[in-house]
Amino acid sequence: MARPEIPVTLSSSSIFSLPPQHVFAMAEDLGYDGVEVMITQNRWTHDPTKLDDLAQRHSMPIHSIHAPTLLFTQQVWGSAWTKVARAADQARELGAEIVVVHPPFRWQGSYATDFADGIRDIMEATGVTIAVENMYPWRVSGQEIKMYLPHYDPIPQDYDHVTWDFSHAATAKMDSLRAIKLLGSRLAHVHLTDGAGSPADEHLLPGHGNQRVVESLHYLAESDYDGAVCIEVSTRGQKYPGHREEMLAEALAFTRKHLARNPATQGEQH
CATH number for the segment(s) 16-133: 3.20.20.150
User: Can you name the CATH fold of 151-263?
Assistant: TIM Barrel (3.20.20)
Spans of the chain, pLDDT less than 70: 1, 263-270
Question: What pLDDT shows up at residue 263?
Answer: 65
Question: What pLDDT shows up at residue 116?
Answer: 97
- Tell me the C-alpha distance between 256 and 8, whole Å: 7
pLDDT 10s digits, 196-220: 988 889 999 999 999 999 999 999 9
If DSSP codes are grouped into helix, strand and coil, which group holds residue 63? strand
Query: Which residues on adjacent β-strands are paired with residue 25?
Result: none
- Tell me the C-alpha distance between 184 and 168, whole Å: 19
Question: What pLDDT shows up at residue 140?
Answer: 75
pLDDT 10s digits, 47-58: 999 999 999 999
* Comma-separated ranges of CATH 3.20.20.150 domains in the chain: 16-133, 151-263
Question: What pLDDT shows up at residue 145?
Answer: 80
